[in-house]
Chains A and B, each alone.
Chain A
Amino acid sequence: MTSAERMTRFSRFPWPVAGAVVAALCASAGAAVADPSGTIGWQSARAVAAQYCFSCHDAATRKAELDLEALFADPAGYPRVDSVLRDIVDLVDLEDMPPLDADVHPDLDQREVLIGWAGSELERLQAAQRDDPGKVVMPRLNRGEYARVIRDLTGKPIQSALLLPEEGGAGEGFANVGEAQPMTPGHIERYLAAADMTLRHLVATPEGWAWHRVVLEEPEDRTGVADNLFLMIRQWHMDESDRWRRALEDSIPARYAPEADPFRKDGFLADLEPSVGDRRLAMIAFLLDRARDVEPFPVTGGAVLTDRREAVLPDLLVRRVRGLLERPGEWSPPFYRHIAERWRALGAARDMPEGERVAAMKRLAELWYRPVRRIWQARFHPQYEVSFERGDRQDAVLESVESEGIWPFEIVLDGLEALHLTTARAGFPDSAVRVVWEAGEFEMGDGSVVSWDQAVADAAVIVGTAEPGEHAVIEATAGSVVRLELPVGAEVFRVRARLPEAERDAGAIVQVLVLDAVPQGDDLLYYPKRRPIIDNTSPHATAWVESLWSLRNAITSEINYSKSTIPMAGYLPESVGRVFGFDRDDDPAVDGLLDDEGNPRIARLLPEDLRGLSEVDRIAELDRLYGLLEGLAVASAEDPVDLEERARAQLTPFLEKAWRREASAEDLDGVMALFREMLAKGAPYDAAIKQSLKVVLVSPDFLYRLPAESVGATLVEATAPLAGRDLAERLSFALWASIPDATLLSLADMGRLNDPDVLAGEAERMLRDPRSLALAHEFAGRWFGFREFSGHSGPDEELFPEFTRSLAAAMEAEMVLFFDDLFRHDRSILRVLDGDETFVNAVLAEHYGLTGVSGSAMRPVALDGTGRRGIIGKGAFLVGNSLPMRTSPVQRGVWILEQVLGDHLPAPPADVPMLSDTERNEEGLSIPEQLALHRERASCASCHDKFDPFGIALENFDAIGRWRDVDSADEPVASTDVMPDGVEITGPAGLADYLMRRQDDFIENFCRKLVGYMLGRTVIAGDRDLIERMRAGLENHGYRPGAAVREIVRSRQFRFRRVPADGSPSATASIPEPPPLSDPSTDS
């Protein structure tokens, strides 16, 4: 056999593209002439099978859970299962079956008889089921969908879905297969709990509702409602700061790598959709990045620079500063007025040479910058800590924090009786979260110093978890408060807080406060204006400090923040106190920044999660909150409103959005009954509304994707087109794992979705929308199994201390971003096989041996020349398929064969010889050497030959995914092996090349998985045409996944549904059988 022939044989049977299938179909065509009923084919095939197959695959032995005897029992009676038929064609043709070590083997003719029969049976099956919508039982909201739907309903990232149980996979491996989703009482209880949790984020008043992203106390009365609103207003301000920080920390570098010129036409940002963004943030984003290497203030001479990007910049910056300064009368600090005047004078000095003028501006800017820096530092002075009220130790403290990661506190007690050591999380979801309070001592009135041992022993944990350690140390968890009784006569208390060693490299950021009063609920949240405690040696911390300084350099706090008292008077009892907000006030800066052409360009650079959150919306949100507060204050018992009317008006739109349909009077009456009942019992409005909402969130209309219209029972099973809203819902759950948006719904209501072109157009729009991130999580994440990799703890901790939680998190993020990029920007799916771009942050970059990446944020990088290509070079795959103490070429190889190429292997026998736990066995043999021995046994080789070479090629990546040239015994890594088809594979790059040669298999697998995911069911024989169309679509469109999605969306499978015959809900559980073959007894 030539190697060309060998190659084609690797294109597996499923669809008629490979040589093997052509042969099979010819055989069946030939048989059809002489054997119109198929009986002869069946008889001869059965004879062959009986001779060679039944000894293992009969009812008694059922090897590989397969009973071929039953398949052949009756030419018409046994439901033909397409996967079994496919396996027959495939495995017999490849001579994988009967296995090498079988006693007897069929000859070529016999094999063709068997293949021919199975091939023609498969054809019959495919013809009978062609484009059958298949059995799709209405799915229930799974955990991921629930989270997204709640997000889309409330506009807030509410985490209530965490209370729901995880869904097992089914069908093609996904969590949205209705048939496999049980609904036990336990499930219903969890949905009740999730509804409770969701509703705790709501404040409802007759004037309106406000959703909030943190949990609120359930209000007892109007004051409680007001308290919550007040809290939300405060949170709004915190969010503003937070958003700013996030812009810095997370998103910008990812979208905005210094080495990538975003203005280049082919730059990776070039295809971002321009959108109306937040111009302030755009400006900040833009400046921050540029400011990094332009010290101290980003003004440099424009004329002398040649690089286009930089040539643009200084000009912008000069204009920005001009914009800021040339507004007369707006600068209240005299200092600014002074600078502004000088600047204006410079601007007016038209006869000054450009170089000189820029230099003068730069000097001026530096002059401006220095005091600004001082002000900025002062701003960072923690406002509420007791320890800093005294002021003069501030610099020493800052130094200690920055250089050693230790917070020293010194508190003059002034007659206080108790203090509260408070530990708060600083906002990073993955940051861990313990703090050690140590070296506490009291300075007594007589000047003596007393250790705090006794106080520690007596300390009381009021909130959260904390415990005394050895040597009078308190170990506290974020979210905890420890109350410390002060000894009589103590005048000064000193204590130090630091992160425990173990937390340091995890990128922990925690905030510590010493307070005199017991902090209330939300004081335990991280407050952005207070300084966090960080470990200065970690890259995480470096990035944090670095970016803060860049921020400071670019934007002065004075310009962008102003402290003000948030007006509460009249709404709140005095006891709630006053609150200071930090308002952003950089309008002058923004207005001076860019022209009409520049703004959209900047908007394109805006981090995606900030787009769509336009400034207008956020201000409107604040206005609305004030409005509610005002309404509450104005409303009084003497001024009765028709609460019921209000409630109905508020519940209707929510119910319609949640139930994805119009509300009937009956629907509303049912929900309103609870509201009435609650009010009658004297419950406040908020509680009554929530009781009604709970019904909305636990009703089947919310939890299930109910068909909007019944087609009515039919006598025989039939198909019917999906109604408009049903189709909209199917599409949005397929692409967003959530509910449709307004655009999609209005198209549905106009009946336009029935037009496949419109439907496909919508699919394209939705893929571009950030919500298509769901595909990375729910589709790719489950296909390739990297969901929750961030919690992976496989590698042995002693051998691989480098495998930290932040590294695992970065590896998962890499996968998510890679697939999100693939779908949202419609990039070739072949990148999965050999793509040489990926996403990393500093931690992962270092792990991969890449340089020039700093910060915790993920950003795109090129992998040229690293030998790391495609999914096979990604950490989550390499580590996830290693053993604690070594790599596993077998697991890696099997994974590639099954997950990437879609092949299926029989389960290995249990009693196979095992490889050693570590890289060398007792005889000193390496894993590849042990495998080679293993493969000398024919029964092992039949499978191992297919995947060992993959795993061996990847031996250059160690068990935690680092590149290596030598193994742990300092021997050069052997990463060359030969496939059964004679192709030699060397190293990861060689494997990527090889996989590209088998791209047909991968594409086939991709199509099957996508069909299974988007339809929520197993792929059936009748999907063959659809998959063929998808393949063709992919080939014609540069393998962009959008083409495959469009084919599915246009298909009958997607746009129709089966209507089962009445009264037989379960009789239709299996796929319809093909027209029966004629009865052999009447045929002869």
Chain B
Amino acid sequence: MNRYSTPTSSLSRRAVLRGLGATLALPWLESLAPLTRLAAQPGGITTVPAGPPRRFATVLFANGVNVEHWWARGAGDAMELSPTLQSLAPFRRDMLVMNKLEYFGDTSGPHWPQFTNFLSGASLRRSTIPDAAESVDQMIARHVGRHTFVPSLNLGIEPVESGLRLGVPAIYYSTVSWSAKNNPIPPEIYPRAAYDRLFDVDGLLENKSVLDAVLSQTRRVRRNLDGHDRAKLEEFSEGVRSIEQRIARAAADERLEGWRPTLEKADMDRPPEERPQDYRDHMKIMLDLLVLALQMDRTRVVTLVMNNDVSRQKFDFIEGVRGQMHGISHHQNKADRLAMYQKVNAWHVEHLAYLMERMRSIDEGNGTLLDNTMLLFGSNMMDGDIHDGRELPLILAGGRNCEMRTGRVVTYEDPAERELCNLHLAIAQRMGCRVDRFGDSTMPLPNLT
């Protein structure tokens, strides 16, 4: 990209800061001292080390798993792994296999009531207007996002469809991140756009005075509006202000925590403009972006949807697999389809292994990037054939420095503990959110530490 690069980008940081004035003051101050106060919060958080920050990533594939081949037994190096999970063998000490969590708890009905709400636990009703609840990644981003260049990164591979699908907005099948009750966030599927969002500081700085002007214009316009239109505009202003805050942080580029990321400059080229044609290439580049974003602390919250719900993705590149993901998941207990299903599951799990391998190789001083990241991996259903929302296949990878005692298999037999939102709550608290409830949580998920 050839950007006009004299006046604005050569602005001194000080000048930018002066220009920001009052809008900046409050959230910035608030962010100065959150960590000490946290100690008194409920939820088991005792200390937050002054070292590398904690991160939270969600990597999700839709349409469930071949149940027979998704299991783990035992603990530590002695943990036995099912064929599907076999590629995780080198990481047995770094993961927590969680059984029987659920947020839908039913097997009836269509797909849509149990995907887009994976991170919010919201109970969905049929509606043509998107209607769920804020997801946990976005709530965390709201709390910790101000520390980083980008509050959160939302990635996807398959495009968002438009219009309605089976009576609900098609975006229900593509995203699990919601910034508010009616605001699903369409995942970014273009590697270049995601890359620029993470690293294009100059581009952002250039926008500073533009956004100032837009904000004043917005204030003028606002006088003229009534009711819900005014609320819409408020949403717009808030968005503009949050970008301005990011600009201020980019301009300051000073880390108050005294910790610096292990990588100062991206070790990855700016990806090409086009979307990679091959699904595998696309997946890899998105995973690399995920690691890079966390490693460079450009954001602490990443969500990646590996496969849309009711996915049309074909996996023909795996030996012996034919047809689309969704079709394969309806296996009807036929041996050949179950075999294909298992192979696709294993393929997804191999990519978790890849992620863990990469993250474990990054030493951050007090441990590896993996130790400092809670990486939630799994699917929104158990058996895709019957849309089984009970007992989800979930793995929490990493997080050793986040009060997660890994190397175990934990089964939540008590129905009161079983809510997936309990896990979300536990993660949110570990990320520093001062909350004692989330969604339909009943308690922070026990038996993690």
Check B36 for interface membership: any CB of A closer than 8 A.
no
Q: Which of B177-228 contact A (CB under 8 A)?
A: 179-180, 182-186, 188, 193, 196-197, 203, 207, 209-211, 213-214, 216-218, 220-221, 223-228
Partner of A1060, one of B3, B203, B209, B226: B226
Q: Which residue, A188, A196, A465, A710, has most C-beta atoms of chain B within 10 A?
A: A188
Partner of B231, one of A695, A713, A909, A1066: A1066
Nearest-CB distance from B282 to chain A (Å)? 14
Contact A187 B228, CB 8 Å, known A169-B170, A218-B3: no
Check A537 for interface membership: any CB of B closer than 8 A.
no
Task: Find out whether the CB atom of A691 lies under 8 angstroms from the CB atom of B226.
Answer: no
Question: Which chain B residues border A782 with CB–CB below 8 Å?
Answer: 162-163
Tell me the complex Cα distance, A206–B213, Å: 23
Contact A138 B128, CB 8 Å, known A218-B3, A691-B209, A904-B167: no
Tell me the complex Cα distance, A237–B40, Å: 72
Task: Find out whether the CB atom of B226 lies under 8 angstroms from the CB atom of A670.
Answer: no
Tell me the complex Cα distance, A929–B146, Å: 61
Tell me the complex Cα distance, A785–B164, Å: 9
Task: Find out whether the CB atom of A166 lies under 8 angstroms from the CB atom of B162.
Answer: yes
Question: Which chain B residues border A884 with CB–CB below 8 Å?
Answer: 314, 322-324, 327
Check B249 for interface membership: any CB of A closer than 8 A.
no
Task: Find out whether the CB atom of A681 lies under 8 angstroms from the CB atom of B108.
Answer: no
Question: Which chain B residues border A712 with CB–CB below 8 Å?
Answer: 226
Q: Which of A177-185, A293-301, A315-323, A643-651 contacts B (4 or more CB under 8 A)?
A: A177-185
Task: Find out whether the CB atom of B2 lies under 8 angstroms from the CB atom of A217.
Answer: yes
Task: Find out whether the CB atom of A711 lies under 8 angstroms from the CB atom of B210.
Answer: no
Question: Which chain A residues border B170 with CB–CB below 8 Å?
Answer: 168-169
Partner of A137, one of B4, B207, B228: B228
Interface extent on A, as a size class? 35 or more
Q: Which of B25-33, B233-241, B421-429 contacts A (4 or more CB under 8 A)?
A: B233-241
Question: Which chain A residues border B430 with CB–CB below 8 Å?
Answer: none
Question: Which chain A residues border B196 with CB–CB below 8 Å?
Answer: 193
Question: Which chain B residues border A909 with CB–CB below 8 Å?
Answer: 108-109
Interface secondary structure of B, over-half rule: mixed
Q: Which residue of A lies closest to B384 (CB)?
A: A910
Question: Which chain B residues border A1069 with CB–CB below 8 Å?
Answer: 228
Tell me the complex Cα distance, A706–B217, Å: 13
Nearest-CB distance from B21 to chain A (Å)? 16
Question: Which chain A residues border B113 with CB–CB below 8 Å?
Answer: 65
Question: Which chain B residues border A667 with CB–CB below 8 Å?
Answer: 217, 220
Check B87 for interface membership: any CB of A closer than 8 A.
no
Check A674 for interface membership: any CB of B closer than 8 A.
yes
Partner of B169, one of A180, A192, A681, A788: A180
Check B312 for interface membership: any CB of A closer than 8 A.
yes
Partner of B213, one of A167, A670, A904: A670
Check B258 for interface membership: any CB of A closer than 8 A.
no
Task: Find out whether the CB atom of B129 lies under 8 angstroms from the CB atom of A218.
Answer: no
Partner of A188, one of B126, B184, B186, B240: B240
Question: Which chain A residues border B119 with CB–CB below 8 Å?
Answer: none
Task: Find out whether the CB atom of A1060 lies under 8 angstroms from the CB atom of B228.
Answer: yes
Nearest-CB distance from A783 to chain B (Å)? 8
- In the complex, per-residue mask of A696-726: 1 if CB is within 8 Å of any chain B CB, else 0: 0011110110110111110000000000000
Task: Find out whether the CB atom of B229 lies under 8 angstroms from the CB atom of A707.
Answer: yes
Task: Find out whether the CB atom of A183 lies under 8 angstroms from the CB atom of B239.
Answer: yes
Nearest-CB distance from B388 to chain A (Å)? 8
Nearest-CB distance from B188 to chain A (Å)? 8
Partner of A907, one of B166, B220, B337, B386: B166
Task: Find out whether the CB atom of A138 lies under 8 angstroms from the CB atom of B229.
Answer: yes
Nearest-CB distance from B276 to chain A (Å)? 11
Question: Which chain B residues border A914 with CB–CB below 8 Å?
Answer: 330, 332
Q: Which of A22-30, A559-567, A789-797, A865-873 contacts B (4 or more CB under 8 A)?
A: A789-797
Task: Find out whether the CB atom of A701 lies under 8 angstroms from the CB atom of B217.
Answer: yes
Task: Find out whether the CB atom of A182 lies under 8 angstroms from the CB atom of B184.
Answer: yes
Check B6 for interface membership: any CB of A closer than 8 A.
yes
Check B316 for interface membership: any CB of A closer than 8 A.
yes
Using A674-B213, A782-B163 as known contacts, list a sample of 7 further A-B pairs with CB atoms less than 8 Å apart, ordered by residue number in A.
A185-B151, A192-B207, A670-B216, A671-B213, A674-B209, A914-B332, A1060-B227
15 A-B pairs within 8 Å (CB atoms) are namely A168-B172, A170-B128, A173-B164, A177-B129, A182-B180, A699-B217, A701-B221, A707-B225, A709-B224, A797-B316, A907-B110, A917-B327, A1059-B226, A1059-B227, A1065-B227
Instruction: Give the interface of A toward B (CB within 8 A).
Output: 65, 135, 137-138, 140, 163, 165-175, 177-180, 182-189, 192-193, 196, 217-218, 220, 465, 666-667, 670-671, 673-674, 677-678, 681-683, 687, 690-691, 694-695, 698-701, 703-704, 706-707, 709-713, 782-783, 785, 787-788, 793-794, 796-797, 883-885, 904, 907-911, 913-914, 917, 1018, 1059-1062, 1064-1066, 1068-1069
